[in-house]
Amino acid sequence: MLQVRNGEVEMLGVLFDRYQAPLFNFYSKMTQDRTVSEDLVQEVFLRILRYRQTYRPGTTFRTWMYQIARNTRLDQVRKVRPESTLASEPNAPFSLSDSAQHQQEAALLQRALMHLPEDKREILILSRFQELQYDEIARLLGCEVGAVKVRVHRALRQLREIFQQLESGAPGTDLHRGSGDSIPPTRRVQ
């Protein structure tokens, strides 16, 4: 990243190859939308290029990148909120080799995840799928490591409760899906 910062912008391609898949997965789990996720990934790398001078040597690139990714997502939520509909079900791609039960459970999991408030969904995805350590997440969210652990545990417990409700198949189950309002304040990178 230092090379990119010093003007060798072609080196950003190396970072793109390394991080586009994890970043895409972060977004696809957050949004359940492939197209939106791909657009967001492109936007993140455009912002990295645009704001590369704000990258400070000595900081972890991954943490800095996720800060930009969070801000990009926040901006996207603000932009689409008026048109967002809760009725649309996520499009869930599955490999054909998955067993039927696994497919069903994964679909339920995805629905449960989307019913989780945005901040809880985010912290769970960051800790479970993005291979970020708690101290990295703490730096990213600007809070204490202990607070991150508590929030991860609470998010997991709420997810389990939602999952169990969905699994029990109560048709009238009133689950409040998370919204952008629950996103905690964050330090802006750019």
Partner 1 sequence: MNCEQIAELLPDYLQGSLAREQAHQVEQHCEGCATCAQDVVMWKKLALLPTDQPSPDSRARFDAMLHAYPTTSTDRSGRLPRRALFGTIAAPWAFFDWLRSPLGAVAWSTALLILGVFIGTRVHVGSVQAPPNEIAAMHAELTSMRQLVALSLLQQQSASERLQGVSWSGLEAHLDPQIQSALLHTLRYDGSVDVRLAALDALSRHASQPQVRKGIGDALQEQQSPLVQVALIDQLAEWRDPDAAQRLRNFQQTPNLNPAVRQRAEWAISKLQ
Residues that bind partner 1 (CB under 8 A): 6-10, 12-13, 16-17, 20-21, 24-25, 28-29, 34, 37-38, 41-42, 45-46, 49-50, 52-53, 92-95, 98, 102, 105-106, 109-110, 113, 124, 127-129, 133-134, 148-150, 152-153, 156-157, 159-160, 163
Least distance (Å) between residue 170 CB and partner 1: 18
Least distance (Å) between residue 142 CB and partner 1: 18
d(CA 32, CA 97) in angstroms, rounded, equals: 21
Residue 22 or 118: the one with the smaller Cβ distance to partner 1 is: 22
Q: How many CB atoms lie within 10 A of CB 184?
A: 12
Please name which of 43, 36, 50 lies closest in space to residue 71, comparing C-alpha atoms: 43
Least distance (Å) between residue 152 CB and partner 1: 5
Residue 110 or 186: the one with the smaller Cβ distance to partner 1 is: 110
Least distance (Å) between residue 79 CB and partner 1: 19
**Which CA distances in Å does 30 have to 56, 59, 147, 171?**
28, 25, 21, 24
Residue 9 or 82: the one with the smaller Cβ distance to partner 1 is: 9
d(CA 65, CA 19) in angstroms, rounded, equals: 9
Least distance (Å) between residue 157 CB and partner 1: 6
Q: Which two tokens stand for residue 162?
A: 């939602």
Could you tell me what percentage of the chain is helix, strand and coil, using 3-state DSSP and rounding each to the nearest 5? 70, 0, 30
